[in-house]
Structure 1
Amino acid sequence: MLTNFDLADPQQVRLAARAGALDQPTANLAPGFVQANMAILPREYAFDFLLFCQRNPKPCPLIGVSEVGDPVMPLLGKDCDVRSDLPRYRVWRNGDMVDETTDVKKYWRDDLVAFLIGCSFSFEEAMLADGLPVRHIQCGCNVPMYRTSIATTPAGRFSGPMVVSMRPLKPADAIRAVQITSRFPSVHGAPVHIGDPVAIGIRDIAKPDYGDAVDIAPGEVPVFWACGVTPQSVIANSKPEFCITHAPGYMLVTDLKNSTLAV
């Protein structure tokens, strides 16, 4: 049962996911600790993907890379196993999602490399501490995420559109959010766009490609941050033969402190 776990503790969040007791987006769990998006690829794709992340630091700020074939990442957390410690995963073959599951041990291979990418859930703590509203947390739902017309910089076999996450804010709060999130480049940093969603290729703000729609109140503007779900749009476009990712919004909660990422 989920009540058996302390969801303010990052290791307990991972253990709840490992036990199959946690099946919800991880926003606002273990406040103060870094959360991470994930992409796991065969070694033959690893250099190209590493180069892709290096060329696209806004959507893909790397915070950790595993050894080949090793699912345990002690630098990110005590007894941290990327095969079981996220609440939900997606499995891809040739660019198509073929499974969504709570555990990927049966898919693990000795040639796989895990890439952990900073998540905007980490800077939400600083926004909340400053009194800024975070709508999806208020609503108890997943953050809305959208594929855009913003192209990433290609690297090797990887290319595709950027994905963004959206939080509606009043204009003055949006300015403050820019100031706050600029201090966290390792978890996407400042927004990439404020205002008209059509300008970045989003035709219907009420229909996110990932996550849940949230209301935009009168007087608010949508604020868009680069998102660590970008690798999933790139995987769908580039079609590697095999890949595992997190499900959007269902992150790896690490033992790293958000404060260590601030600049």
Structure 2
Amino acid sequence: MRLTDQSIASVQSLAELRAAIRSGAFNDHTAGLAPGKLQCNIAILPAAYALDFLRFCLRNPKPCPIVGVGETGDPSLPTLGPDIDIRHDLPRYRLYRDGKFSDEVTDIAAHWRDDMMTVALGCSFTFERALMAAGIPMRHVEQNRTVPMYRTTLPLEGGGVFGGTMVVSMRPLRGGDVPRAVEICARYPLAHGAPVHVGDPAAIGIAALDRPDWGDAVTILPDEVPVFWACGVTSQNTLLSAGIPLVITHAPGHMLISDIDEDAALPIWKP
């Protein structure tokens, strides 16, 4: 269900929002909720594969920016919030067995195992809010659609059983807005950072913008160019390609809302 406008207004704190998610009172997407708080992509996998996966993410920080790592068998993520329990605190989860989709659920307590480990990755919601605050519109938000995502030919650095090519998300921007968008997004390296490509989709192996591999196609106006960002779906695609016996992820758009301010995604150094 989606909380009504009235019930959203009645949620006075992040703790109350997390309680609504944990109880099952809220199981819809998290876009627009808890503004200013870092939202996270989630991957939960057996610890036997975790070192290789972390190595893969560190070698590919644009699509897979690590923002938190749990202990083996421990569902908490204390660096992202003192009361987080990853078994209950996402609105929806997806389960994959041997690289194939198995189920979508609102709680994973029944599927949690003592050998499971959680990895949290940065999310594009952070830079999207920064762009909209700067007056740069997001077409998929205007059209109430899921951002379009595409497989590409951009190679990734492998790590153990993990590898492949990058998945990107696309947002059409006016040509004059592109330099400002690059500048803004570069400030958020833990939320995919600056775009990886601007312009011709064929140059990165995308045949047709109106046929995304995930999400929904959006309108591109005559004065706009397609701009592509590294996408967190890269990690899910890579996990599935590895054929691991059990992987649990967030359902697209149904993120973990952390206690961390989005500005914590800013680097502590100046480029």
TM-score by length of 1: 0.94
Per the alignment, residue 144 of structure 1 pairs with 148
Matched to 2:76, the amino acid is V
Residue 29 in structure 1 maps to residue 45 in structure 2: no
Matched to 2:233, the amino acid is V
The percentage of counterpart residues that share the same residue type is 53
**Aligned partner of residue 36 in structure 1, secondary structure:** strand
Give the C-alpha shift of residue 69 in structure 1. Answer: 0.7
Query: Which residue, 55, 59, 81 being the options, matches 2:85?
Result: 81
Distance in structure 2 (CA, Å) of the matches to 1:11 and 1:141: 28
Give the C-alpha shift of residue 133 in structure 1. Answer: 0.4
Matched to 2:187, the amino acid is R
The worse-fitting range, judged by mean Cα deviation, of 233-242 and 46-55 is: 233-242
**Aligned partner of residue 25 in structure 1, secondary structure:** coil
Structure 1 segment 117-132 matched on structure 2, within 5 A: 117-132=121-136
Per the alignment, residue 226 of structure 2 pairs with 222
**Aligned partner of residue 44 in structure 1, secondary structure:** helix
Quick one: structure 1 residues 238 and 18, their matched pair in 2 at CA, closer, same or farther if it must change by over 3 Å?
Answer: same
Query: Which residue, 18, 24, 28 being the options, matches 1:20?
Result: 24
Distance in structure 2 (CA, Å) of the matches to 1:167 and 1:9: 31
Cα deviation digits, residues 61-86 of structure 1 (max 9, x gap): 10000011111223212421112211
Give the C-alpha shift of residue 119 in structure 1. Answer: 0.6
Query: Which residue, 71, 90, 94 being the options, matches 2:94?
Result: 90
Quick one: structure 1 residues 163 and 16, their matched pair in 2 at CA, closer, same or farther if it must change by over 3 Å?
Answer: farther
On the 8 A contact 1:168/1:220 being kept in 2, the answer is: yes
On the 8 A contact 1:92/1:98 being kept in 2, the answer is: yes
**Aligned partner of residue 74 in structure 2, secondary structure:** coil
Distance in structure 1 (CA, Å) of the matches to 2:178 and 2:169: 14
Query: Which residue, 51, 68, 73 being the options, matches 2:72?
Result: 68
Matched to 2:84, the amino acid is C
Distance in structure 2 (CA, Å) of the matches to 1:220 and 1:8: 39
Matched to 1:121, the amino acid is F
Quick one: structure 1 residues 215 and 21, their matched pair in 2 at CA, closer, same or farther if it must change by over 3 Å?
Answer: farther
Quick one: structure 1 residues 110 and 37, their matched pair in 2 at CA, closer, same or farther if it must change by over 3 Å?
Answer: same
Distance in structure 2 (CA, Å) of the matches to 1:23 and 1:144: 22
**Aligned partner of residue 229 in structure 2, secondary structure:** strand
Cα deviation digits, residues 14-59 of structure 1 (max 9, x gap): 3332233333332222111111101111010011011011111111
The worse-fitting range, judged by mean Cα deviation, of 163-172 and 2-11 is: 2-11
Aligned residues: 263
Per the alignment, residue 178 of structure 1 pairs with 182
Per the alignment, residue 138 of structure 2 pairs with 134
Query: Which residue, 259, 263, 268 being the options, matches 1:259?
Result: 263
TM-score by length of 2: 0.91
Matched to 1:68, the amino acid is T
Quick one: structure 1 residues 197 and 17, their matched pair in 2 at CA, closer, same or farther if it must change by over 3 Å?
Answer: farther
Give the C-alpha shift of residue 191 in structure 1. Answer: 0.3
Quick one: structure 1 residues 92 and 8, their matched pair in 2 at CA, closer, same or farther if it must change by over 3 Å?
Answer: farther
The worse-fitting range, judged by mean Cα deviation, of 53-62 and 83-92 is: 83-92
Residue 208 in structure 1 maps to residue 212 in structure 2: yes
Distance in structure 2 (CA, Å) of the matches to 1:138 and 1:22: 23
Distance in structure 2 (CA, Å) of the matches to 1:163 and 1:194: 15
Matched to 1:169, the amino acid is L
**Aligned partner of residue 100 in structure 1, secondary structure:** strand
Cα deviation digits, residues 145-184 of structure 1 (max 9, x gap): 1221112110011112211111111011122110100011
Tell me, which stretches of 5 or more residues in structure 2 are unaligned? none
Distance in structure 1 (CA, Å) of the matches to 2:161 and 2:96: 16
Distance in structure 2 (CA, Å) of the matches to 1:145 and 1:153: 20
| Aligned CA-pair RMSD | 1.7
Quick one: structure 1 residues 13 and 203, their matched pair in 2 at CA, closer, same or farther if it must change by over 3 Å?
Answer: farther
Matched to 2:68, the amino acid is G
Query: Which residue, 43, 47, 51 being the options, matches 1:47?
Result: 51
Distance in structure 1 (CA, Å) of the matches to 2:173 and 2:27: 28
Give the C-alpha shift of residue 91 in structure 1. Answer: 0.7
Quick one: structure 1 residues 68 and 156, their matched pair in 2 at CA, closer, same or farther if it must change by over 3 Å?
Answer: same
Quick one: structure 1 residues 97 and 184, their matched pair in 2 at CA, closer, same or farther if it must change by over 3 Å?
Answer: same
